[in-house]
Structures are given as C-alpha cells and as structure tokens.
Structure 1
Amino acid sequence: MCTSNPRSLITRKKNNPRALNAPIVPLADPADGLLTLEDLQNSIIATLVVWDDALPGDEYQLLWDGKAEGKIKEIAIDETPGASIFLEIPEFLLVNDGRFEVAYRATNAAGGLTNDSDPTYIIVDKTAPGGGLLAGLIFPSVVDDGVLTSAELSGLGDVISTEVPGYTGIAWGDYIQTFWGEKPGPTHTVVEDEVTMDEVMIDFDRAFLESVGDVAEPVYYIVTDRAGNVSIKSQTKTFSLFLTPAPTDFPAPLCPQAEDGVVDDADARAIVAVSVPQYPDPQAGDKVTLYWGDSALPEAELKPGDETQNPIFDINVRYSTIALSRDGEVALRYEVWRSNFLIGSSTELMVNVNLELPGPVDPDPETPENENLDLPIIRGTSSSANNDDNVIDEEDFLLEAKAIIGWKNDFTISDQIHLYWGSQPIPVTFQIETIDLDKDITLTIPNSV
C-alpha cells in the first residue's frame, strides 16, 4: 500500500498559474451587476467552481476591490474540480454605494502559492434619484396660465407633451410615474439614449385627461430606480381642466313678479328681482351673468357663504333693461363662469312682459312721473277778470273748477283720464270720445271735491 503524499505527484508551475474564472453573484443583474434593495435584504453570495488543480485543503478567500475580506475557506475532500463552492460577501462591505470588484484568491496549501481570479463587478445603490429636489414637469406654453381648455388641447393634437427635467442620478431603467392629483397618470421607463440626451418626454393624451375630470389638481411625478429607490415627489404644477362641454341644464332662474302671468309697468318700476337657484357645485368666486332676453346684466360674484344658499342670490333688473326686450315673451337664463371659463348655463324661464301704458311713452320710466304728460292747468270758474291759472280765490271757492289737460297724439278714443285732487280718494274721471280728439281736454272739478 502506497503511503506517500499525493501532492508529490503534482508539479506546479510557479511562474504561469492557470487563470481562474471570475465568480458569479447570482442576485446581481447580469447587465451591470446591480443589486436591488430587495436583494440586499438577503445574503449576497459569490459562487465559483473548484479550479482544475485544486486539492483538498487548498484555500480560497473573497477579494473586495483587490483586498482580502471575510473568512478563509478550504476545499473539502468531496469538492472536486468543477464543483460549485461559494463565498458570502459580508454585510459591512455592502453599506456604501458604489461599483465594486468581486474576485477570490486561491492559495496552495502545500506551497503557499496564490492565484487571484478574474473579477466580476457589482453595484450597490441606496440613494434615491433626484436627491433632495425634483423639478416639476415642463408643460407647453399654451398652459402657462394654469388652464387647459378643450380647444387648446385640440390645438396640441389632443396630447400634452411634457418634459421631465434632468435630475441627479438619472439612469436607464428609471421608472417615472406621473400623477394628476391623486390619479396615477402615464408612466415611462428611461432608456440609455435619454440619459445621454438628458431629455425625457411623457405624453398626457385626451382620453386620460378627460378621465381626470374638470378639476384643478397638482401634477407631479415620482421616480423609482432599478435598485428600488423611490424619489421624493417632484415640484407640482396645478392646472384647471375645462375639457367637458359646459352643461346647459342648470336649473332655470326664478322670477316671482312674473308668477301672476305678466311683468307689467308697475313691476318694472319697482325693479324686478330674478333669483338664481343653487346650481351643481357652486363655489365662492363663481361669476353669474343673467340674460334678460338678449341683454346681459353685469356679472354677479358669489361671496363665501352664497354657495350654501338656495336660491343663491337675487339679481335686480332695471326698467331700462326690461324695456329693451319689448313687450311679449322674453327668455331669462344665466351663465356661470369660473376662472374666466364657462362651467354651465341654465335652461330658460319664459316670462310675459307688458309695459304698455296709455298716453305718450315715458322718457324716464325709472322716475315716478311721465315727463311727456303735461301738468294740468287749473282755472276757477268765477266771472272775475283777474282769474290766474292754478289759483282758486275766494270768488271761485263755492264754484266748480276746470282742469285743462294738454292734448297728446298718443291719446286715443276710450282712454280714461283720472285727475286726483289732493287727498281726495275718488278721482275726477274723463273718457276720451271722438269729439275730444286733437284738442285740449277740459275736466270739470265739482265744488264738492
């Protein structure tokens, strides 16, 4: 039986050791050796194979950036050339970010000769992209005013193309998630060319924007890199969307003075109040424009607290506006504007207007009197030669008096003239007949009056 040392049968070449294959770190990304945050929750193992001339007792140890680290391990009796063996990378070596060289050193137990393997590389990345600042998305200039309308979106080809400004640590594989308010928006994965050009574009199409609804919400994005690091929120930009056609079915206005069937001269002189009922989602700052026929009244703004009232408020319509629409049926409606954009309009309320009065047209209907009606002239009926107009003296006191009403071409047959004398409750009445046309009218005022 041979008892000689088996190593005496092996001749080692001291000056030209066989190259050792690089180890493999299975959890590392084959593309560049990246270890994710999830990977780093596990033990990081470097696997290697027993080299061709290895014998039991030969040693191997981890090389980290060329420096021996960790435990020294020995080839076991059952670990023959080609068998898989491994080295664990100590946790303290994986604390810092960086790109690291991983290799191993083989040592001949008999002669103490060493041979270092080819290296492999791993990347440790625990830093969130962007650092402490992510600039907001860059939007087309058409939305610089913070508003996007349907017409503006159509002019952009129904797509808003935004630019993600270059940020610290941008790298291929970064996953960008956008948000419009709390609604997740389009996503994008950065490619190598975009890193080189430092330009990343993300599109918001009409279908997505319409799904958000007509709201004013902040827009931002978050970046998650390949290692799993999540950035802070980017700076936000808030836009008001007005993409949905404004509804035309807001509740119709109310006009209490028309509930008797007509808005007449007396109603108009008293100023007609039109009530704006509570419409969907009223907000302080909304501006309401009431239309009386084709005439738009000055806009009325909702003040804080108005939005909780029903009706919200009354809008007073002056006589001159009512008169512009002429007599007959008139449509009343209102529009609601928010941030200078129409958000809805009401259905119509039809009211009947009849301002026509006998006699000449009042040139200033907002005053109590009709300036086109002459003042009456009062004359006594005594035989005194000194009778003065509008004077009743002692000689006239027990007699009737006369009132002279100047003729107006707007008078017509059957018109009635009512003359009121002081506080007397019953007027003196005169009805125009054919014989009275085209001449001043004389009324007799009884002495009892």
Structure 2
Amino acid sequence: MTNIEAFNSIDVVDDPSDGTQNLRQLLTTFNANQSGQAASGIHKPYIYKAQSPVANADFGISDELVGEHSDGLIVVIQPYPNMQSGDTIKLYWADKVVAFKKVLPGQVGALITLNVPSDKIPQGHHSMFIDVGGKRSASVTTEVVYGQPGLGANGEVVELPAPNVAVPTTGVIEQAHAKSKVKVTIAPYSGMKAHDRIYLFWGDELATEHVVTSGQIGKPIVLEVDEAAIRRAGDSDRVPVYYYIEDEVGNESEWSADTWVNVNLSGKPTQPNHDQNPGAPIILDPNGAGASVSEVDLSGIADQDLEIKVPGPFQVGDSITLYWVGTTGEDFANALTLGPVVVTDAAQALTFKIPNDHLIKLGNGSGKAFYIRKRNNVEVVSKVAYVNFKGQIIRLPEPLVDEADEEAWVDADLANVHVIIPSTANLQNEDEVTVVWRGTQADGSVVELEGKMFRVSKSRAGKQLALRQVGKNFLKPFDGGWAEVAYRIKRGQVTVQSAWAFIDIGYTVETLAAPSTDPELPENTLNPALDTYKFGLDVTIPDLGNLPTPCTVYLHWSTSEGFYYEDEQVLEAGDKVSGFQVPKEELEIEGKEVVEVTLYYSVVWDDRPSQASKDLVFKIAAPGMPEPEMSIDQSTMVIENEPFPGSVYVGGKWISGELKVSPSYQLKVRLPKGGQPPFTFASSNRSVLTVDNQGKLTVLRKNGVSAITVTDARKQSTSYNVTVKGCFAFCTYIGVHRFDQLTNIRNFFIAQKTMGAPISQTMWARICQKYGPMPSAHIAGKWTSLGQRNSTNQVACCDGVTDAYQWAGDKQVFSAAICAFLYP
C-alpha cells in the first residue's frame, strides 16, 4: 500500500463498471442523430470529447482540447460488418490519412480507438471518414479553431474590458431597480463571431449567458440581470460584475476586468454599521497593519491565515457566525462556517481566520464573506465583502493508486485496484465524483475509461474516498503500457478535474516475432567449440514492419548459469534494424552441464509502450554433456473467463461442438526447463481440462482444478496445479433463418431447456478472439428487442453467409443464422 491514511475496507466504495458506459451512451446518441449511413455499414467516426454538434459541423475542436494531452485527439471506431483480425482501418481527415491501425484478434467486435497527433489536425472546416479495405464510412464534418476570443491587437492574451453596468443616479442598486432588471453592456471584442457565448457573473455566481448572433458582431451587446441573481449575491458596497467568452468549439477568453457596484435590496438604512443593517466584514491585508483589502497576492502570504474582522456594533450575548465562500481559479466553490462566537465585550471587534491550507488553493480566484448576528433569537444578515486573489491556480490533488509500488508500477492481473481521492480534495456533501483513466495500450492505442459516478454523502464529506475498481476493466486494457489516473468532481454546475497520477501497468507485451540465429542451430544446440562461432553468434532480427522510428532496439541474452548480456541499436527516422553479434566470450560454458539460453529483443520508444519479441530458447553444450535436471514453475496457474464450445444443433440433431481455435489465439501453456526431450504432458482431471504434448491447455468445464504432470525422456517428472474459474460454455443453433426471424430459434431453445445466462459483449468478444470472427456478427440486446417477452437472454447472430457454417464445422448449407447461447 502507498503511504496514505489507512482506510477501512468496510468504507471502500465498489465500482462495478467496465469504463465504457459513458462512451457507449455518447455513441448511441451520436448514431441516433446521424443520417446518411454508408452502404458499407461502417459507422461514421466519433471524435471523443469534441463539441458535438456545432453550428456548421458535426464536431467542433478547440486548441484546449488538442493540447489537453500530448497524444492528441481520440477518434472512436465502432464495430462494423465482417470485422476481422488483420483489417487495416484508415482515418482520413481533409483527404489525408492521419491515423491507421490493424485490428488485433482480441479487438474483433470491440470499439477501436485511433489517436491523431496535434500536428496532423487540420484547422478550419474539413471532413473526416473511415476506410476499411476500400469500404468507406459516410463523412463527418469538423470545425477546428485555435486561439482565444478577445485577444489584443497583436494577438497577445489580454484581460477583457470591464462590463458597463447601468447604475441609477443614486449610485446604489435598490429593490425597484432589481425588479426591472439591471442592464449590463458588453463591448465588442476582437475575434467576435456568431455562436460565441458570453457568461456574465454577478458576485461569484453565473447570472446569465447569451449566444452572439451574426447581426451582433462588432456591436455592443446588452444583457439583463434579474432580481434573483442580484439577490443571491447579497447586499454589498462592492459587488464584482465580470464576464468571459467561449467560442462555439470551446476556446475560452481571459476573464474581464471587474466592475464594482453598490447593492442594497434590503431597504434598510445605508449608513455604515447601522444596528439594523450591519456593514460587511472587513477583509484584512496580510501584509498591512489592519488595512482592508479587495485583492490579495497569495505569493506573499507564506503560511499566514487570512484575517476577517467583524467590527459590530455588538451587545453582550450577541452570537456571531461568519460565512465564507472561496472560489478557486477553476471556478470551484469551497464554503467554510466559522463560529458561532458569543460576544462578551461589546466594544471589542471579533476576528475570524481563514486557514492557510484553504487560502492557498484560491489562486486566480475570489472569496466572499458575510456574517449573521443573532440577538434575542432575531437574526440579521450583514452586507457581503468580496476579495480577489492573485496567484497560481492550484489543481485538485492527484489521486493515489493504492496498489502502485514505489516506482509507480501496478500488476495488470490484479483482481481489483483501489483509487483513493485524498482528504485534501475537500469533498463536500452532494459532490459527484468520477474516476478517469487515460492511457496508452501496448499496441500504442490511446484509450480513456470512466468509472461509475459516486455521490458523496454528508458523512463522507471532508474525508478521503477509496473507490474499488475491477482490475480486468481498468488495469488489463493497459497491460504492457501506462495510464494516467485522475478524478472529476461536479459541484453544482461546475466540474473540475484533478491533477493526473502516472502509473506503469503490467509487463512489456511479447508481440514481435522471435529472433533467429545465423546459421540455424542443429537440434537447437550450439557447440561453442565449432569454428562457426569463433567470433561469436550472429543473431537476425525480423523486419519491424510498420513499427515507427526513431526507436531503440535492445538484444537480451540470459543463461541458466545466471549470466546476462545486452546490446542495442539506435534507429533514426526511416532506419532499418540490422543483425546483432553475441561475443564469443558469452558462449563459453563454465560448468559441466548443458546451459540453457533465452534470447529476445525489445523495441523502446520515448512516447509509446515498449514491445518485446517472443523468446528464442536453445542450449549451449559440447557433445556428451549431461542434461540439467528438469524443473517447472510450480505456482498455481489460474484460467479465468475462457470460452469453450458446447453442443451445436445443425441438420436436426446435436453434434459435438469442436471448433477450431484461431491460429493467433494464445492458449495457456507452461513448459519445463532442463530435462531431456521429448516431453509428455498429462492432466489429472480430464473433465476439467486437457493438455497436449506441446503443453497447451484446453478448458472443458466452467470451474475446477487439475494437476498437470510433465515427464521427460529419462522418465523424470514434475507437476503444477491449474485452477479453472469463471469460464463459460456456449451452445450454437444453426438453421436456414434470417437474422430478424428468430422466433423459431428462441422457441427451440426454450423447448430444449438450454437457455442459460446472457452472453455479454465481453463474452462475445472472447469467443471471436479464440475461435475467429463470425461474419456479420451482432449482439442483440435481449429477446425483448426482437419482439419477444419474458427473457433477457442475449443472442449472437450471423446470417446469410457460408462462412457461418464453416465456423461451426458444417459446410453443406449455403445460408445460415448462427445463434450462440451460454450453457445453463
């Protein structure tokens, strides 16, 4: 565990989400609002987090969105008909390929993400579409706008001019004026465009907003503030009024200068500190001798608190409570209540202190204070004092990943991961908290996942919050890569995101082909006495294909005697990798037994996860050397969530469901070290799983245990245990049916009593990953979506294609619908 406040496991909040619910909801809404689907059936691309729609485009993109992360924009590709492993997806933007990706076996039927670097994002109005093997989606339009509204004459960032508030001749806004609304004029600003949105604040709250029309460009804009907004800000001798601009794609201007107005809606006497109309508390300058201040520079206060004086008039026995709201530079409000304090000396002013740890978070923000005096059970509210704060914006503290070690590394195979929002985040009652993961997967894809929103209760306010998330949903997707973790807090209408915590996840993924030796080793054995190796061993690295350069390629050599050797090649842009030579001295044998060598290479980039090759394992031995004793990793192997076929109903009868495993699917395997080949493998419980003589395991039951025994040619044996859990069988119906005519199939399964648990999207993806993609595969949400009732079983279907029968092992029928169900 990390060095944080200990948390009670009883208080941990479970997050069962898979991280994609919000994205799927966005896609559902996007698809429903789109027209003009392409004949290919490929959905239009979706730009994650972009404004959608905007006035003249499907997506609006700001420079803030582009610059939010160094990896650029995420574009989501939805599953499409006949999706297959090896498909190349190309993303065209402004008629240029800006990103592409090959579909991996585990991605068939799943959402795919492409990331577009900032230097490939075209400014202005353009179109974007997807191409898969010459089949295109329909296009979406984009509007990319860089730069803030309201820049200076030379393009510099400047403060917008203060708004002009229509104040009556008395200089005080009273109730009659508020009832008829107060007019505020916004002067024309540089870069003014139709669809800009003006946000006007009265006090520290949003009073009104206005969308600029084409007819208003270059002209003053008059807004009206109603009585309710004025009353919320309270009576004060100095209420700040200010605004900012946001263009239609999300670029924001700087804040305007403040206009200060005098407000008295109470109708009470206006003379200072009248007994029935107490004046505002006095905010004292931390660097002054009791002087009041309307602006504080936080860079000069060190560890000081902020003092606020309440001068009276008082009577002995009065009860005084001070109310303070500090608003951060990200517009996030944090309230404090100080007191009540009972007056014991009517001539003595009271002083309250805003703690330094609260104060330092208010850089580029503001604060307001007022007090309530209670006398003889009658309460009187004072006027409000406002103050601005200069200083650096302090973001919410980053979360803590409890399972991360000192080097910020987390095992990708953990069942759960705990994300902890520290108490210094100062969570408040009714806050809505969402954990966000954004990271780079082993293949370079950028993915963002969101947890389930948690609403803070009164009893949890001000405390740390520990959220337990499912490891396979939030860690495993980044196995071999890295992720940043943050959290968002929505408080009222304002949402603020914390700083990011960076973690490495899992181990480098073995995705590349193994190296080879030149020449090949006879019987996989190197004899160091041969002249062939008098200068060393030549190692050939396969062509790296489309892997990007620049990068560094490392060769890794380790032996059963504990020796390690490493070499590297630094590749510049466009370079090709060449071979390595392992020096002669690394081939020498120090003992009298055969030495086993493990040889592989890795490719390392600065801005994406490393990739490693599969191992090349061979022996170094002189003729007649004895083989080392055989051993094997004896830790328990766990196989979870593995699909395996049940029966198939075809031609009016049930047949054995022996489906061919896809060549790219990695079956579980564990091999011995040492020993004398050939090896034989045996399973102690063949009803749970079987094993072939290459050590590959095949699951046959949902749960169970078995021991795997390995025997070499000398009859030496060793074994390890396997636990199978959460695996699932599925049965398949094949018949001449269209996809939308499933009533007969449903009735058949009900009659056969084979209706089991639902097949989820995740399960279906696992089936396709292991046995290859089913053409035209589709997951129907539930039977009720097909006009049926009283069942929630999901169905995976494939229609009108010969490949459907080939997938199930029957090639006699030319047209079929396949429906796969979980076994009960």
Task: Give the TM-score of the pair, scaled to structure 1.
Answer: 0.38
- Structure with the greater alpha carbon radius of gyration: 1
Task: Give the TM-score of the pair, scaled to structure 2.
Answer: 0.23
